[in-house]
Every structure is written in C-alpha cells, then in structure tokens.
Amino acid sequence: DVTIIVIAFITLGKYLEARSKLKTGDAIEKLLNLQAKIALIIRDEKELEVPINQVMHGDIIIVKPGSKIPVDGVVIDGSSHVDEAMVTGEPMPVQKKAGDMVVAGTINTTGSFIFKATKVGSETLLSQIIAMVEDAQGSKAPIQALADKISAVFVPTVLAVAVITFGVWLLVGSRYLGFSQALSYGLVSFVGILVIACPCALGLATPTAIIVGVGKGAKEGILIKDAATLEKLHKVTTVVVDKTGTITKGKPELLSVQSESSLAENEIISILAALEARSEHPIAQAITAYAKEKALSLKPVEQFETIKGKGLKGSIDGIVYFAGNDALVEDLGISFDKKNIETGTMEGKTPIILLTKEKILGVVMIADAVKPEAKEAVARLHALGIKVVMLTGDDEKAAKYIASLVGIDDVVAHVLPQDKLKKIKELQSQGRVVAMAGDGVNDAPALAQADVGIAMGTGTDVAIESAGITLLGGDISKLVKAIKLSKITMRGIKQNLFWAFIYNIVGIPLAAGALYPVFGWLLNPVFAGFAMAMSSVSVVSNSLRIKAKKL
C-alpha cells in the first residue's frame, strides 16, 4: 500500500507540475495564435481567400475591419487605425495610410485598406519574434550552471547517504530493535531519502523562471536574445544612451512659430511650406508635414531657386520670398535681433527665417524633439540606482540642454562611433556594469562592447540579431521595464533554488531517521513522495508569479 501511495503522490506531483509548466510557456502559444490563418488577396482581378503559407511577395492583400493582417507589407490604398499592441505593447491603435508599413498579426480596427506584401513566412516580424522567444526560452542562464554543478555532486552524495543510512540501521538498529525491525526501518529510510532528495525541483528552478520572464518580456515589446542577457541585465549600474532616436524622436519637427510682421502664424507656415515643398532637405519635410497636419493650402511657387548653404527663394502671388538661415538675412542687408535665434541654436534648435527683400516676416524653430516618455524613464532608472550617460555626435551645448530636460547625469558630445566604444570601455574599467541603448546601426561597436546591448527597434525594420535585447517601437520606457523584469526573474530563480534545497536539507535527515532516537519519528515514504512532488510544484508556481508582477 505504501508503494502504491508513493507512486500516486509522485504521479500527482508530475501532473500538477506538467500543468503548471504548460502555463509557463503560454507566451509562445499566444504569439502563435496572433498569426492569421488566411489572407484575402487580389489575383487576376479576382478576390481570393488563400492560406497564409500561399501568400507571395508582391501580392495585393485586402484588409477588412476587425481582421488580422496576414503578412508584413506597405499600404497602397485606403486608411485605418491598426492595433499594434502585440508589437509595441502600446494599447492605442495607430493610424495607417498609403506608404505606411503594416505588420503581420496586428489587428485592423474600423477602416479597410489594401496593402502590398513585402515580407512573408519566416521573414515577418511576428515569425522573427516567435523564433527569438523560443530560442531565448530554451537557452541556459549562467546561474543554471551553478545548479548543474550542485546536482552533479548532490546526486551521488544522496545515493551514498542512502546506502550509509541503510547500513547504519542494519548495524546499530539490529542491536536494539532486532534484525527484522532494523531491516524494515532501514529500507523505509533508504527509499525515503531517494524519494525526497529527487532533484526535480533543482532542475526546474532556473528554466521555468526564464521561460516566464522571456514570455512576459515579449508581451511588453521587450525581445530578449538569451537567458544570459536577462541575467546580466539585473547587475547593470550604468546605462549609456544615444541621443538621436533614443532620447529624441530621431526626426526634425516644427516646434514653434514666431511672427515678426502682420502675418498670422498659419500664413507664415503656408508660405514657408509652399517654398520648402520644392526642397528635399529633412528640415523642409518637417515644415511641410506641419502644414499638412494643420490642413493648410499651399499656393504655387514660381521662379524657385536654391541658395547654396543659406536657404531658398521663390515668388508667390508676385511677391519674392526668402527662407533660410541668419547668413541669408545678412546677405540681404536686413538688420535683426539675433538673441532669440542664438538662444534657440544653443538649445539644439534650427531657426528658419521667412523674409522678403525689405523685412523679416517670421521665424520658425525646427528640432529633433525629446520623446515624451524619456524624462520619466530616466527618473525611474535613477530610482533603481542606475546612472545614465548620454553619448552624441552633436554640439555640446545642444546636448547638455537636451540632457537637462530629461535629467541625464553625464553628457559626452562630439563623439564618433569609435569614441562611443572607448567610452564604454572606460566605464567598464571603472568597475561599472554597462548597458548601451542605441539604434543598432552607427552604435554597433558600442553595443557589442557593452555588457548588455539594447537596440531601439522602430517600426518593422527591427535588427533583432544586433543586440542582446530589442525594444520594439523604440520606446525608452521599456528599457526600465527590461531591467525590472531581469531583477524580478533573477529574484524568482534565487527563491526557486532556495525552495528546491530547503526540502532536501530538512527532508533528508528526517527520512534518514535522525529524529527516531529522540521522538521515535520516522518519515514514511508516502510523505517523502508528497514533499518531493510539492517541491516541484512550488518551484513552478513561484515562477508563474513573475507573470503577475508589474513592470
């Protein structure tokens, strides 16, 4: 009967453990469920429903309201708002119109549109995410090597203890209890030790926590390359960030308009946008995008001309307008107060002056705006005791101004990619554990040198292989979440190892009969089986708690 009950308890424990382990890996299942099964495509001027694996590059695909986007592509007609929470972790749907990228697995909300397939099958972002999460969940963290080493010593030691215990019962017990009773108790102790010391929980301690941690990260738009990266991240003491694309949005925006004449702000923008529409400069794009956002009408421009290094000019309604920098104003011999422009320049802004041959009409300020979440992210990093350093190739005054806006500790300006690498090495030589967050292109050497490289993945063009961690959507606040996730996961692993060992440390002496001479207690193999099963269940359950933790 004891044998049957022991087997029953062990089987029950394995069943509970298997059920719990299935829950640890449900992140992959949920990601797989995000994939669309069919696509509505146009071939030979007919609408056809085809399985997703039959979609080819260049196929024209119709997306109706409420349906999943089957593959990655570019919108060519129509517009809608798409729920991209599975990629970015952000709950608000994003507007999509002609020319915008769409990602497989995201959900169309209200409108309908047509897009051209650019990535299919394993090329899609969702497929890359699934492959990366699977690889990371199957990888070993360095801390697991410790558990493996302990297991390598622990198992033969337990076998030796079980044999010695059996021998002691026979030798010593026979004198006081008789051979028959001593043999019976010796066998009970021998089996009890082997059952309770089974190192299942020890083997589950690390992988279950890693599986849950990596899966939780994927849901938050944090892609972790391997378990070793996740472990390293919790030790980070310094975070180095690139300015452009990490702290700032990475593209120029029109921030302010100042009228210096009787013209209203919208009139100044309308004239400027009409002139700049003929230019391909990034600053011109910022002005035209602002005019489009304001729905301003643009008048035709005649006699358009580019003035090299200074600006441009053109005629609108018979009036010749100029747009450019202060050098252009000086060339035209117009006096103006430079103070406002100099202040803007020191803050990293680029002034564009609109004027005629006689007078200045207005000034607009263009700059790479700070990401709205950057200030809070830096404050949260400080709360974790982490120092933040910003490296940039920009002007020092402009960089320090940006740093002051978000609360960054240290700024290094005028740096080239190889200088960033030197700075990382310098910080590491001071005994700091360094994480580097950058766009993964010009920051590649520094990302490779850092203890943890973090790529800011924007849009669908995500260089997943370029860094240990990729933050989808390029959101710096996810950097804080990644570090917190690492700390929570490592805490979970240490708790698991504690629980795995505590059962054995307490259970083995009990099973050996250490309390029998004093209290007459002997651990029944039934309870040993129950304790062994519960140790595995408690470890897996503790790992599942990571899911509920707020990042």
Residue 326 near residue 357, CB atoms below 8 Å: no
Cβ(208)–Cβ(537) below 8 Å: no
Q: Is the dihedral of CA 164, 167, 168, 169 positive or negative?
A: positive
- The three-class DSSP label of residue 107 is strand
Nearest alpha-carbon partner for 539 in 10, 13, 151, 152: 13
Phi/psi at 73 (nearest 5 deg)?
-175, -170
Of 59, 72, 83, 242, which one is the catalytic site residue? 242
Place of tokens 């607009």: 364
**Distances in Å between the alpha carbon of 371 and those of 168, 390, 475?**
71, 14, 8
Residue labelled with tokens 């309908």: 112
Helix (H) or strand (E) holding 252: strand 248-259
Cα–Cα distance measured from residue 551 to residue 543, given in angstroms and rounded to the nearest whole number: 15
Name the token pair of 184.
């019976």
The string over 293-307, giving b where at least 16 C-beta atoms fall within 10 Å of a residue's C-beta and e elsewhere, is eeebebeebeeeeee
Q: Which is it for strands 360-370 and 469-472: parallel, antiparallel or unpaired?
A: unpaired
Establish how many alpha carbons lie within 13 A of residue 35's alpha carbon, considering only the half-sphere containing its beta carbon: 18
Q: Is 242 a catalytic residue?
A: yes
Distance CA 313, CA 42 (A): 46
Helices then strands, each counted (H, E), the chain: 20, 22
- Relative to beta strand 80-83, strand 107-108 is antiparallel
* N-term to C-term CA, the chain: 49
Cβ–Cβ under 8 Å, residues 406 and 479: no
Which two structure tokens, joined as six digits, stand for 400?
Answer: 């320090």
Residue the block writes with tokens 């298997």: 18
Distance CA 320, CA 309 (A): 19
Q: Which of 392, 346, 352, 364 is nearest to 248 (CA)?
A: 392
Residues found in the chain: 551
Nearest to 155 by CA among 511, 533, 508: 508
Q: What is the DSSP letter of 171?
A: I
| Half-sphere CA count of 326, side-chain side, radius 13 A | 13
Cβ density class 281-291: b for 16+ within 10 Å, e for less:
eebbbbbbebb
Beta strand spans in 283-381 (E):
302-307, 311-316, 319-324, 350-355, 360-370
Q: Which residues are catalytic?
A: 242
